């Protein structure tokens, strides 16, 4: 079996037993990228030299036989939204085309301290604004299961890289589903933690009250291991939660029997792809046979989640993206005066989707419209959170489809932004409520494209989500199937 096709926990055993070196493993992954990325375009920047140097350092630590964690020597990819010292960080935007940060973000520091090998920066929708990775300024990433289809977004490059074995695991960010929806499209495991569980320091901001960092992996055990490595309090992030980090991987051994799973009726709606509906319902029956009680619940304000999200997210984006003016860093367009510098830099530096969201957000925040739009959206957000609070009095986790359809064709929805926005209809609510949620594969449609099931948990209860996901994974073989490239 090729080294690049194994998981973190499988490779950790091989590295500890000296059956393989981190250098051999990293070279295997780099060769896999070389052989496949011309078709997939998962990466924006490849870190060949620094990755091999980090692998060499990891091998020295392994030879020393000192204490080390499960990520030592493991090749990890990063969505190109994470600030990385000395490595180009573009956020898939022309406005940051040549930006090389002078520091590492907190999660990048944690990965490096754990001995992980950073192999490259993955493609994404520009400034994380999109559901298909078609909004990248550099290339459209393609789905490894069918290269005519999108990989989802905005963390589409990370999802495609994990699915195609172009890395052992990856990190993404999730503002309205940007980890979970591409994970569903590419047949991998992706987790959005509780808001504040993982530091956002050194993550280029889209919508600050919604953004969250999370793992994208080949199976649930890897997801637990990677989450454990990056979670925890960070004084550099004012929204970081100062609470202990559980041993997520150890907690997987606990049987989830006796738990109650809530099925929200609002998530099984007309218009959902029938194969998605069928696969998720069958997955729920697998959980029920394993000793988990299934109850129907209601989240009555779900229908308002998409409009509320697209007011709040665009308003925050309008504020956050005001810093890109061509003055301190990034692209600067030639101009005759200051005003023209601002306008031309933003005109040529931002893509059409980013401009659309800046304009929507600026409008929502403008005088005379703030109360009608932004303030009302925040009130709706509170009602959505209240729905979840009441649901969790009756159950321990919720199970839903991750997305209403499997991966769609490239170009299919680019002419209709609203249809694109509806791709995240089942994932947006958890960002508004700040809840943890995980997507894992639960089947395939008639075209052989993966279907994702979403498990939503109580605040800071990632352990229970992972236990339920692990129970389902162990009862099936969905996660073992790989795309043929």
Cα–Cα distance measured from residue 334 to residue 341, given in angstroms and rounded to the nearest whole number: 7
Structure tokens at 302: 């779900």
Do 51 and 168 contact (CB within 8 A), yes or no? no
Do 229 and 107 contact (CB within 8 A), yes or no? no
3-state class percentages of the chain: helix first, strand second, coil last, to nearest 5: 45, 15, 40
Question: Could you tell me how far CA 69 lies from the centroid of its own chain?
Answer: 23
Secondary structure letter of residue 362 according to DSSP: H
Q: Is 438 helix (H, G, I), strand (E, B) or coil?
A: strand
79 is catalytic: yes
Do 196 and 222 contact (CB within 8 A), yes or no? no
Q: Tokens 């590419």, residue?
A: 186
Report how far apart, in Å, the C-alpha atoms of 294 and of each of 182, 285, 348 are. Answer: 27, 9, 52
178 is catalytic: yes
Cα–Cα distance measured from residue 201 to residue 234, given in angstroms and rounded to the nearest whole number: 8
Alpha helices (H) along 65-128: 106-113
Strands of 316-416, DSSP E: 397-401
CB atoms under 10 Å from CB of 456, counted, come to 28
Cα–Cα distance measured from residue 47 to residue 447, given in angstroms and rounded to the nearest whole number: 35
Q: Which of 22, 136, 154, 170 is catalytic?
A: 154
Q: Which of 21, 22, 79, 199 is catalytic?
A: 79
Per DSSP bridges, beta strands 260-264 and 397-401 are parallel
Cα–Cα distance measured from residue 322 to residue 369, given in angstroms and rounded to the nearest whole number: 19
Q: Measured in Å, how far apart are the chain's first and last C-alpha atoms?
A: 16
Secondary structure letter of residue 371 according to DSSP: I
Q: Which of 28, 93, 114, 178 is catalytic?
A: 178
Do 167 and 29 contact (CB within 8 A), yes or no? yes
Question: Could you tell me how far CA 392 lies from the centroid of its own chain?
Answer: 24
Do 154 and 128 contact (CB within 8 A), yes or no? yes
Question: Could you tell me how far CA 83 lies from the centroid of its own chain?
Answer: 16
Nearest to 161 by CA among 485, 443, 453, 427: 485
Question: Could you tell me how far CA 260 lies from the centroid of its own chain?
Answer: 26
Which residues form the catalytic set? 79, 154, 178
């Amino acid at each position: 079996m090729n080294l690049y096709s194994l998981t973190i926990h499988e490779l950790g055993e091989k590295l500890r037993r000296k059956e393989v070196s981190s250098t051999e493993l990293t070279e295997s992954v780099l060769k896999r990228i070389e052989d496949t990325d011309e078709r997939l375009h998962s990466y924006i920047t490849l870190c060949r030299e620094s990755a091999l140097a980090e692998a060499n350092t990891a091998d020295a630590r392994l030879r020393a036989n000192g204490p080390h964690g499960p990520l030592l020597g493991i090749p990890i990819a990063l969505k190109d939204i994470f600030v990385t010292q000395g490595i180009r960080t573009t956020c898939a935007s022309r406005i940051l085309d040549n930006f090389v940060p002078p520091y590492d973000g907190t999660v990048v520091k944690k990965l490096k301290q754990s001995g992980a090998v950073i192999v490259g920066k993955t493609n994404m929708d520009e400034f994380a604004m999109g559901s298909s990775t078609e909004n990248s300024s550099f290339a459209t990433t393609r789905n490894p299961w069918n290269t005519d289809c999108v990989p989802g977004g905005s963390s589409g490059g990370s999802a495609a890289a994990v699915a195609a074995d172009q890395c052992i695991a990856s990190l993404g960010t999730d503002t309205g589903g940007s980890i979970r929806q591409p994970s569903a499209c590419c047949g991998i495991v992706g987790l959005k933690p509780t808001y504040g569980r993982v530091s956002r320091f050194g993550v280029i901001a889209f919508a600050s009250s919604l953004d969250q960092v999370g793992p994208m992996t080949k199976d649930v055990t890897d997801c637990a291991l990677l989450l454990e490595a990056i979670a925890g309090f960070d004084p550099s992030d004012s929204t970081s939660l100062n609470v202990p980090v559980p041993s997520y991987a150890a907690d997987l051994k606990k049987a989830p029997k006796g738990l109650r799973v809530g099925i929200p009726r609002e998530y099984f709606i007309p218009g959902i792809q029938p194969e998605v509906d069928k696969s998720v319902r069958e997955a729920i029956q697998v959980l029920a046979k394993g000793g988990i009680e299934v109850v129907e619940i209601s989240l009555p304000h779900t229908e308002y989640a998409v409009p509320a999200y697209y007011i709040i997210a665009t308003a925050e984006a309008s504020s956050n993206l005001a810093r890109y003016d061509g003055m301190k860093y990034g692209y600067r367009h030639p101009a005759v005066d200051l005003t023209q510098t601002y306008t031309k830099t933003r005109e040529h530096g931002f893509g059409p989707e980013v401009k659309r969201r800046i304009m929507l957000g600026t409008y929502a925040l403008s005088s005379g419209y703030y109360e009608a739009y932004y303030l009302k959206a925040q009130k709706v957000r509170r009602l959505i959170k209240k729905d979840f609070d009441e649901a969790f009095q009756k159950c321990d986790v919720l199970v839903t489809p991750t997305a209403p359809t499997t991966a769609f064709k490239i170009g299919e929805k680019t002419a209709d932004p609203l249809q694109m926005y509806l791709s995240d209809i089942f994932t947006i609510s958890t960002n508004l409520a700040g809840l943890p949620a995980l997507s894992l594969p639960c089947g395939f449609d008639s075209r052989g494209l993966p279907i994702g099931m979403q498990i939503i948990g109580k605040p800071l209860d990632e352990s229970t989500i992972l236990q339920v996901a692990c129970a389902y994974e162990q009862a099936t073989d969905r996660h073992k199937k790989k795309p043929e490239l």
